[in-house]
Structure 1
Amino acid sequence: MDMQSAAERSDVILDAVLREIQPELRWVHGPTTVGSCDVSRRRAVMTDISAARRGNLLGVVDRFWRKSGYRMTAVNNDAEFPAVYAQTPDGFGVRLRIGGEGQAFFQVDTPCVRESAVADSTSQATAPPYEGEFIPRPNIHSDFWSAEAPEVGVAHGR
């Protein structure tokens, strides 16, 4: 597998988890970085996820990754900056972490692969593209994800 193929596999992994989350999260592409033999693809969620709903999001993602055969490698239960980390059966590292102001970030890190050029992702972002070097903080309201009370007893996701 070369870097371009690994980047495309990363996009498939990201597309699958984001499709699983209902109601839909709006997201933009983060930077793609290329190392000496690996690639990282990122997506930044632009939907405002309230502190009360972050656990719902982490739970949906954790269950989906486990159902997909991923091995959970770490869980950070920090109240402000929680995260879940896993590895796919074919060696791709995946993570969801909550950053400043509750912004969710998904990332896939490839295993070491053969060097090649890497094109931009062809996955269509679901939030308006941003101008400039930095991704702004989440700015899209969701009646579900932005709500200030936790959802109890309802599992979202397919």
Structure 2
Amino acid sequence: MKLRALATTSLVILLAGCGMSGGTQTGGRGTMEPKMNMQQAAERADQILDETFAAIVPPVQWTHGSAMPGNCSTDRRRTVMTIISEERMPAFLGLVDRFWKSKGFTFRAASKDKQAAYYVTPDGFQLSVLFGWKGQAHFEVTTPCVEKSDVLPPTTPPNGPDYSKLPPTAPNVTSDFWSAKKTPAPSASPSS
């Protein structure tokens, strides 16, 4: 599983470097005219993640992941600490898919096993959601190439313990909805 997560992350980084983002301000090369710096881009990435997690109902517990600033881009990561059962993965991915599309983000690709999906925003930010070991969801937003600057850590506090400075931890929070092993009847919906 760790190998799959590493391979998926490598794919995202590779695609980011190859300009997968398409229609940006420089003719589709995955970079923007430097109208923002890396700190501003990181804040935009945080905003995307904040809005995404606010749309997940019932809410999940998450922690920040490590960031990897580059020469002209950076990323923000969040790791979900709520266990998402195999039966609930399609509903979770569907919720994220609908939300991101409602924001005007473009679907780019999905993994063959349907446990990872990739999107791009109109302003060139690349997004991914993927499932790893024990039903742990991982979110990443990679910024387009912008003006180089220092990048501060995210200001949004995690909604549970902060594992960001610890070795990777398996999901350890159970949700009556997201961790359930049975799929509800079609008319049922998450309520809390």
Instruction: Give the TM-score range, shorter chain.
Output: over 0.9
1:52 aligns with 2:87: yes
Query: Which residues in structure 2 correspond to 1:1-158 (within 5 Å)?
Result: 1-78=36-113, 82-130=115-163, 133-153=166-186, 154=188
**SS where residue 34 of structure 1 aligns?**
coil
- Cα gap change, 1:131 to 1:84, in 2 (>3 Å): closer
Q: Deviations over 1:10-66 (max 9, x none)?
A: 000000111000000100000111011110100000001111101110000001111
Q: Measure, in 2, the Cα distance between the counterparts of 1:48 and 1:140.
A: 6
Structure number having the greater strand percentage: 1
Q: How many residue pairs are counted as aligned between the two chains?
A: 155
**SS where residue 38 of structure 1 aligns?**
coil
- Cα gap change, 1:50 to 1:115, in 2 (>3 Å): same
The Cα of 1:151 is off from its aligned counterpart by: 3.4
**Contact 2:177–2:190 under 8 Å retained in 1:** no
- Cα gap change, 1:33 to 1:132, in 2 (>3 Å): closer
> Where do 5+ consecutive residues of structure 2 fail to align?
1-35
**SS where residue 88 of structure 2 aligns?**
helix
**Contact 1:29–1:125 under 8 Å retained in 2:** yes
> Where do 5+ consecutive residues of structure 1 fail to align?
none
**Which deviates more, 133-142 or 39-48?**
133-142
**SS where residue 76 of structure 2 aligns?**
strand
RMSD (Å), alpha carbons: 1.6
TM-score by length of 2: 0.77
Query: What is the identity percentage for the equivalent residue pairs of Structure 1 and Structure 2?
Result: 43
Greater C-alpha radius of gyration: 2
Q: Which has the higher contact order (CA 8 A, sep 6+)?
A: 1
The Cα of 1:101 is off from its aligned counterpart by: 1.3
**Contact 2:105–2:119 under 8 Å retained in 1:** yes
TM-score by length of 1: 0.92
The Cα of 1:131 is off from its aligned counterpart by: 7.5
